Structure 1
Amino acid sequence: MLELTMASVSAADAGATAGMMMADAPSDPGSVLRVGRDKSVCRLATPDDWLFVSRVHLEFLCGPERDWQVSWLRGSLAEPSSEVVLALAGQPAQTLPYGGTVRLPRGASGELVIRDRAAPRSVNVGFYHEAHAG
Structure 2
Amino acid sequence: MLELTMASVSAADAGATAGMLMADAPSDPGTVLRVGRDAAVCRLATPDDWLFVSRIHLEFLCGPQGDWQVSWLHGSLAEPSSEVTLALTGQPAQALPYGGTVPLPHGGSGELVVRDRTAPRSVNVAFYHEA
Q: TM class by shorter-chain length? A: over 0.9
| Cα offsets for 1:62-119 (capped at 9, x unmatched) | 0001100000001110000000000000011100000000000101101000000000
> Which residue of structure 2 aligns with residue 103 of structure 1?
103
Supply the AA of the counterpart residue of 2:72: W
- Distance (whole Å) between structure 1 residues aligned to residue 88 and residue 60 of structure 2: 15
- Structure 1 position 65 matched with structure 2 position 65: yes
Paired residue for 2:78? 78
| Length-normalised TM-score, structure 2 | 0.99
- Residue in structure 2 matched with residue 51 of structure 1 by the alignment: 51
Distance of 1:90 and 1:115 partners within structure 2? 21
The residue number in structure 1 matching 2:88 is: 88
Structure 1: how far apart are the matches of 2:53 and 2:102?
19
Residue in structure 2 matched with residue 40 of structure 1 by the alignment: 40
CA distance in 2, matches of 1:93, 1:36: 21
Q: CA RMSD in A?
A: 0.3
User: Percentage identity across aligned positions?
Assistant: 87
Give runs of ≥4 in structure 1 deviating > 3 Å: none
Flag structure 2 segments of 5+ consecutive residues without an equivalent. none
* C-alpha separation in 2, matches of 1:90 and 1:35: 24
Name stretches of at least 5 consecutive residues in structure 1 with no aligned partner.
none
Return the TM-score normalized by structure 1. 0.97
Structure 1 partner of 2:120? 120
SS at match of 1:85: strand
**Corresponding residue for 2:7?**
7
- Secondary structure at the aligned position of 2:19 is classed as coil
Q: Distance in 1 between matches of 2:4 and 2:115?
A: 18
What is the CA-CA distance between 1:19 and the residue it aligns to?
Answer: 1.3
Structure 1 residue 18, shift from structure 2 partner: 1.2
Aligned residues between the structures: 131
